[in-house]
Every structure is written in C-alpha cells, then in structure tokens.
Chains A and B, each alone.
Chain A
Amino acid sequence: MFSALNLRIGFFLAVRQIKRASLWTTGLIVFVMVLTFLNLVVVSGVLVGIVQGSIDSHRTQDTGDVIVSSLDDKKYIENSPEVIGIIKSLPQVKDASARYRLGGTLEANYKTRKETDKPNIAVTQIIGIDPVAENNVSNMSKNIIKGEYLSPDDYDQIVLGSLLLEEDFSFNALFATLKNVSPGVKIRVNVNGVQREVTVKGVFESKVQDISRNAYMIDSQFRSIIGRNDGNVSEIAIKLNQGIDPKEVSEALVLSGVDEVAKIKTYYEAQPQFLKDVIKTFAMLGNMLSSIGLAVASITIFIVIFINAITRRKFIGILKGIGINGKAIEASYVFQSIFYALCGSAVGLVLVYAVLVPFFIAHPIDFPFSDGILVAPFDQTIFRVGLLVLSTVIAGYIPARMIVRKNTLDSILGRN
C-alpha cells in the first residue's frame, strides 16, 4: 500500500534525485516527453485539422452557418421573399445570400470552331447571386485568382470556378473543361435552351471542389435567362453573428414555419456524406495514432525509469537495507515519472497553444481539398495529458517494482 508516509518519503527522494540529477539527462528525458506529447496531440490534431479545414471551407464558402434550400420535390423555395424576410428579422442573423441555382452548359469555342470541330462545352451549376450579399456570407471575392469579382451593376458578366478551365484543372479527363478561357473572353451560357453570351469577369478557386466547378452571375440577369420573376430562389445561405449556435437559428426557423416550404440544415447537417465519412475515418486514424503515441510514451518512460533504476540498484538496496519501505522507493520513481510527464506536457502545451496552433492558423497547410489547421481542443488535450501521465505512472512503477523486489543484499553488493 502507498501509505501517506511512503508517499511522503517517495516524494522526498524523488525531489532530491531530480534536483541533483544531471541537467542534460533531465533535459533529454523532458525533450523525449515533449516529442511524445507532440506526437500524441499534433499528429492527430493535424489529421483532424485536414478535415476541420474542409468543414470550415464548406461552412464559410458554401453553406454558411445555416442553409435553407428547396424541398426535394421542388425546384425553388416557395414564398422565398417571405422566407428571406423571416430570416433577416432574426437577431442572430448577420447576413443572408439568396441563390438561384440551375444546371446548364458553358460553351467556349462557339465563335471560332468549324463545323467539323467538337464544341468545347462544360457542364456546370450556374448560380445567380447578389454579389454583395454573397460576398458577405461566403467572402467569395477573396477566392478570385484571376480577373475580378462581380459588381451589382455588372451586365452579362460571369465568374467561373477554376475547375471549369482546362489550364487550371489538369484532370480534364474526368470533366469537360473550357479551353483558352480567361477573364475578358466571351463564352455562351445555355440554360434550359436559353442562350446568352457573357464575358468572363474573373476566375475563382475554392478548396471545396463542388464550388470550384460552379459559375456565378448577377441574380437579376440569371433570372432573365431562366425566366423566373416570382423572386423564388433555390437556396439561402445564412451567416450568423459570432458565437451563435446554428441549431438555435435552425429551430427558430422551424418555429416560424419555414420548414413547410424549405429544408433547413445547419452547416453540420448539410455536410456531404463523403465528408462525414472522411471525418469518421480520420477520427479513427487519429485515435489509432494516439494509441500508438501513448504506447511509445509508455515504453519510453519504462526504458528511462528502468535504466535509471537499474543503474541505481545499489542505492535502492541501501535504501531497503537501512529500512526504507519498498513502496516508498517505488513511489519515488512514480513521482519522477509524473515529473517528466508533466514537464514534457507543460512544454508541449506551450508549444502547441503558443506556437503551433497560431502558426497553422496563419499558415494553413495547403492540402488539395482543405486548408489544414491544427485542431487541439483544450479539453481533449488535457485529457491526453491525463492519459500520458497515467501511462507514465504505470510505465514508471513497473520497472521500479521490478528492481525493488530484488534481494536487498544482492542489490547492495551488485550481485546478480
């Protein structure tokens, strides 16, 4: 039993061993623990961060915090002006962007091609937007990589997602893309048989591939193409004030009866299934890697304490010889393990929260489908610190017990 007395004596011995140990040795052990902590927190944090980056991109560039869209059997939201009015009346709502969305084609070489040439056509979703409202919700202008973003007074202008253009999308075998199209070039829009010649004003790029395959026009002109004058839109993306729970607004809209004419989804509910699968997969991978990290941490501390205890076997023998309880000696090694684990975790915490998290926010890792950040929720990190300490306590206790159990005199005399 670890009685209070044994713990007190263990602490007494541990403090003095640590205090009088070589600084280099202590530093090296703490360094190993820092690496172990980072392995535990950062590796899984980056994995989750890849997905989180994708979730954030979907939220900030596509769905907003809440998305209201047409019912499955409808092409548009009935009584859209009334719905938009309800949405804008909610105090939690910061901005809302109403979108008209319809499938269509874009044709690039209609002026130059000969009769024998194949038309250069790309199939896309064409979205009619109020550029100011859309920019307030999705910050789209920031994603423009060529040319300019739309202005409210633009006429017959279009911005194209980079994946619609051959030069920006190398995997053109998968999707048909437009060749030799850049800002200033005219292309032909075809929606439900209605054709309109428009000028490419800009090209944008998003980490959300679905968005990068869209084309955007001013809503009033798109309405004239699709012949819609009732103001009914396909979807409304809503951006909420900071700190508002999307669920709260979703419920408020249901209470207002919006759910009778439209589907209401929070950004989380609106995530595509593949993203949900990826999140699950990465969470599993993260847990696996964390478990391996924890095992590595345990083995590391086991080796450190074992070597420490074996090289001090004579002194452990002397301690037992002069009557120091074996449990007190074991406790001293457990305290040392806790010290190393806590020091490693403390340095690791500073590194993660003062250096790595801010760094990755400022410089996200450029993954193909996400701006990867480091996700390290504090409560989860503290839980991992607890796990690390617990595993090191066990890993420190076992070798100490192995050495303490050896014959006292054999230990004093260095006999095997």
Chain B
Amino acid sequence: MIETKNLVKTFKDGEAETKVLKGIDFKTEDGEFVAIMGRSGAGKSTFLYLMSLLDDSTGGEIIIDGKNAHKMTAEEKTLFRLEKCGYVFQDYALLPDLTALENVALPLLMQNIGRKKAYAKAREALIKVKLGHRLDNLPSHLSGGEQQRVSIARAVAHNPKILFADEPTANLDNESSKAVVEIFKEIHLAGQTIIMVTHEEQYAKMAGRVIHLDDGKIVSVQKN
C-alpha cells in the first residue's frame, strides 16, 4: 500500500539546514492500522505529510498504491489525494463557509459524483458519526468534538484507500477523544487502512502496529 525507502526531509532556513527525517524505510499493507508516536520534533507529522503527498521529500522514495510519488505532478498528486486519501487534521481543517453537509459533500462533488448522490453519501457519513442532526450547521456552530467528527466523515465519505490522521484527539476533551477513537475503531474494522500520528499511548494501542520515531528515525516498532 505505502512503502518508503530511505526517506529524507530537510528544512532550509537561509544557510541553516534542519534534517527532520533521516532515511526512513517503512511499509504498510492494505487494511492495516498504524500509529506513529514520538516526542515533539521527532518528525512524526512530517513523515505523515510526506506519505500522504501533502509535502515533498528531499530524498528517498515513496511508493503509494503502486505509484512513485516523485514521478507524479502536482495535479496528479491532488487527484490522488482526492480519490485515494482521506485526511483528519488536529485542528479539524473544516471550511468555515460550508455547512457540515457541504464540507463532507465537497470532495464527492469534485469527484464528479452527481449532486444528489454526493449529498446523500455525505448525509450518510455524517449520520454514521452521529451528526445527523447537525447537517446544516456551520463549523463555527459546532463543538470541537463535533467538528472533528465532521472532519472524519469528510475523510471517509468517498471510501478512500488510506485515511491519514494527524493527532486527531489532540484538541479534544476526554469524552470527545473517546468518541473519535471509537469511530476510528469502527472504520478500521470495516477494512479501512489508517495511519495515525498520536502522542497518546492509550489511543495508539488500538493500532495493529505502533512505530516510534525519534530524531528523524524509526527507533522501534511495536505490534499490538
């Protein structure tokens, strides 16, 4: 599904260079749930962004769904993200001008699914995350937990091959975090591949495999 070979990422600030990822080799299979852990600055979010084609690496290779990311144009990457990936961000990343239903429907509309069908799928996804009563609410009228559930609905409504989640519970209280994690469990059981960055051990335990990063390298792999 995803394979990285000697993945390197360096940030430049003038003359100064910071090597955040120092050659990561990693492979995940279909239907797997992988958690990436590590202390702040370990490079876990950077690793996730590279795998999810949101950012470009400085060196190494990423093979995703059989395609070499380095050979893809920006437009191809955008299309790939639309069709094959789902994203859940720490700060929900919802569009403030769109209602919950519209936020979820937008990627479906971009896939040229008919308006009725797109809205029906979006509604279904929101009902699954228990937000059937909040369809027409703008993000600003939803709680943090509700916003994150809308974000998850948006990420999975089009049945992506891989769901990427970057610290999805970091901004949530305990109760909302548990609700979000329950949703992750459910969709994983339904066969969804998930790669999740988290710094919370209790949620990482849900994953089939936990990778620990430190100083830009994988330092341990733990199977649950």
Q: Is A325 a contact of B102 with CB atoms below 8 Å?
A: no
| B49 interface contact, C-beta 8 A | yes
Q: Is the CB of B107 within 8 A of A324?
A: yes
Q: Within the assembled complex, what's the spacing in Å between the Cα atoms of A117 and B154?
A: 103
Question: B107–A322 contact, CB under 8 A?
Answer: yes
Asked if A412 and B54 sit within 8 Å, CB to CB, the answer is yes
Q: Render B88-101 as a binary contact track against A, CB cut-off 8 A, 1 for contact.
A: 01000111111000
B120 at the interface (CB under 8 A from A): no
Q: CB within 8 A of B109: which of A12, A17, A315, A412?
A: A12
Which residues of B sit under 8 angstroms from A8, Cβ to Cβ?
109
Total inter-chain residue pairs, C-beta < 8 Å: 67
Chain A residues 181 to 231 lying within 8 A of chain B, measured CB to CB, are none
A322-B81 contact in complex given A5-B112, A315-B95, C-beta closer than 8 Å: yes
- Answer yes or no: A346 CB below 8 A from chain B CBs: no
Chain B 3-18 per-residue mask, 1 if CB under 8 angstroms from chain A, else 0? 0000000000000000
Taken together as a complex, chains A and B put the C-alpha atoms of A409 and B55 apart, in Å, by 6
Whether A328 sits at the interface, judged by CB under 8 Å, is yes
CB of B68, distance to nearest CB on chain A (Å): 19
User: Are B55 and A321 closer than 8 Å at their CB atoms?
Assistant: no
Report if A323 contacts B (CB, 8 A): yes
Contact of A5 among B55, B87, B98, B110 (CB under 8 A): B110
A111 CB–B CB distance under 8 Å: no
Q: Does B214 count as interface, using CB distance less than 8 angstroms? A: no
Known: A16-B97, A20-B97. A408 touches B109 (CB 8 A): no
Known contacts A16-B98, A409-B54, A409-B55; A325 and B110 CB within 8 A of each other:
yes
A407 at the interface (CB under 8 A from B): yes
Q: Across the interface, name the chain B residue whose C-beta is closest to A407.
A: B55
CB of B65 closer than 8 Å to a CB of A? no
Counting CB contacts under 8 A, is B85 at the interface? yes
Within 8 A of A (CB), among B69-94: 75, 78-83, 85, 87, 89, 93-94
A321: contacting residue among B75, B81, B110, CB under 8 A: B81
If A20-B138, A409-B49, A409-B55 touch, whether A323 touches B93 (CB-CB below 8 Å) is: no
Check A321 against B97 for contact (C-beta < 8 Å).
no
For A322, A407, A408, the residue with the greatest tally of chain B CB atoms inside 10 Å of its CB is A322
> Is B106 in contact with chain A by the CB < 8 A criterion?
yes
CB distance from B126 to the nearest CB of A (A): 16
Any chain B CB within 8 A of the CB of A326?
A: yes
A323 B55 Cβ-Cβ under 8 A:
no
- Docked Cα-Cα span, A322 to B104, in Å, equals 10
B54 contacts A323, C-beta separation under 8 Å: no
- A328 to B75: give the CA distance in the assembly, Å: 12
B112→A323 contact, CB < 8 A? no
* A315 in contact with B96 (CB, 8 Å): yes
Note all chain A residues with C-beta closer than 8 A to B75.
325-326
- Complex CA distance for A325 and B75, rounded to whole angstroms: 7
**What residues of B have a CB within 8 angstroms of the CB of A325 in the complex?**
75, 78-79, 110
Q: Which of chain A's residues 7-62 have a Cβ closer than 8 Å to chain B? A: 8-9, 12-13, 16-17, 19-21
List CB contacts (< 8 Å) of A128-150 with chain B: none
**CB neighbours of A412 from chain B (8 A):** 54, 89, 93
Q: Which residues of chain A are near B87, meaning CB under 8 Å?
A: 321-322
Are A326's CB and B78's CB within 8 A?
Answer: yes
A326 CA / B110 CA spacing, docked (Å): 11
The yes or no answer to A320 lying at the interface (CB within 8 A) is yes
| Residues in B neighbouring A319, C-beta threshold 8 A | 95
Is there contact, CB below 8 Å, between A320 and B78?
A: yes
Complex Cα spacing A290 to B49, Å: 50
Complex CA distance for A19 and B49, rounded to whole angstroms: 33
User: Which residues from A are CB-within-8-Å of B89?
Assistant: 318, 412
Chain B residue numbers with a CB within 8 Å of A12 are 106, 109
A203 vs B56: C-alpha distance in the bound complex, in angstroms?
87
Nearest-CB residue, chain B, relative to A412: B93
Q: A5-B110, A12-B109 are in contact. Are A323 and B95 (CB under 8 A)?
A: no
The docked-state distance in angstroms from the alpha carbon of A413 to that of B15 is 22
CA distance A319 to B54 in the complex (A): 12
Query: What is the bound-complex CA distance between A21 and B138, given in angstroms?
Result: 13
Contact between A323 and B110 (Cβ–Cβ < 8 Å)?
Answer: yes
Query: Nearest CB to that of A15 among chain B residues?
Result: B97
Given contacts A12-B109, A16-B98, contact A318 B85 (CB under 8 A): no
Complex: A199 Cα to B96 Cα, angstroms: 84
A323 touches B79 (CB 8 A): yes
Query: Are the C-beta atoms of A328 and B97 separated by less than 8 Å?
Result: no
Known A315-B95, A408-B54, A412-B89; contact A323-B83, beta-carbon cutoff 8 A: yes
Q: Which B residues are in CB contact (< 8 Å) with A408?
A: 54-55
Q: Indicate with 1 or 0, residue by residue over B130-152, a CB within 8 angstroms of chain A CB atoms.
A: 00000000100000000000000
Please, how many angstroms separate the alpha-carbon atoms of A8 and B172 in the complex? Answer: 35
Q: A20-B138, A21-B97 are in contact. List 18 more A-B contacts (CB 8 A).
A: A8-B109, A9-B106, A17-B97, A20-B97, A321-B93, A322-B81, A322-B82, A322-B107, A323-B79, A323-B80, A323-B81, A323-B85, A324-B82, A324-B106, A324-B110, A325-B110, A326-B75, A408-B54
**16 pairs, A vs B, C-beta closer than 8 Å:** A8-B109, A9-B110, A16-B97, A20-B97, A315-B95, A318-B95, A319-B95, A321-B54, A321-B87, A321-B93, A323-B82, A323-B110, A409-B49, A409-B54, A409-B55, A412-B93
- Per CB-CB distance, the 8 closest pairs between chain A and chain B, nearest first, are A323-B82, A323-B81, A409-B55, A20-B97, A318-B93, A16-B97, A409-B54, A17-B97
